[in-house]
Amino acid sequence: MAGSYNHVVTDHGNLASNERVNGMLENGGDVFEAVEEMFGMIWYLATQHNNEEAEDNPSRNLVEAKVRVEQARQNYQEGLKRSKRIHSLFPDRRT
């Protein structure tokens, strides 16, 4: 995959600068692939939560996942802050 999540984060796991991301994602296809991967990651994470009540009603779990994604969209700035704090304590240290 030419464009990916790994192309938009630093070696320590933080979001890379605008300049670095532009350099890593060379064309619209790369950008789409990176966005597609992150879109899939969002929905994968959103649908991981599964309580007993949702197991009895699978459509409820999907509705709850959709609500979680919308809450995350509305609060993405807080997510960026949390990510920076977490990665300062536990950097990825990729090789």
pLDDT tens, 3-52?
889 999 988 889 999 999 999 898 999 999 999 999 999 999 998 876 55
Q: What is this structure's pTM?
A: 0.79
Any domain includes 66: yes
Q: Which of 8, 58, 59, 13 is nearest to 36 (CA)?
A: 8
At residue 2, the pLDDT reads 73
Least trusted range by pLDDT, from 25-39, 49-63, 79-93 = 49-63
Query: Is 95 domain-assigned?
Result: no
The answer to whether residue 13 sits within a structural domain is yes
d(CA 82, CA 30): 27
> In this structure, what token pair is assigned to residue 48?
């991981």
**Could you give the number of structural domains in the chain?**
1
Range of the domain at 14: 5-89
| Alpha helical stretches, state H, 1-95 | 18-24, 28-46, 52-56, 58-74, 76-89
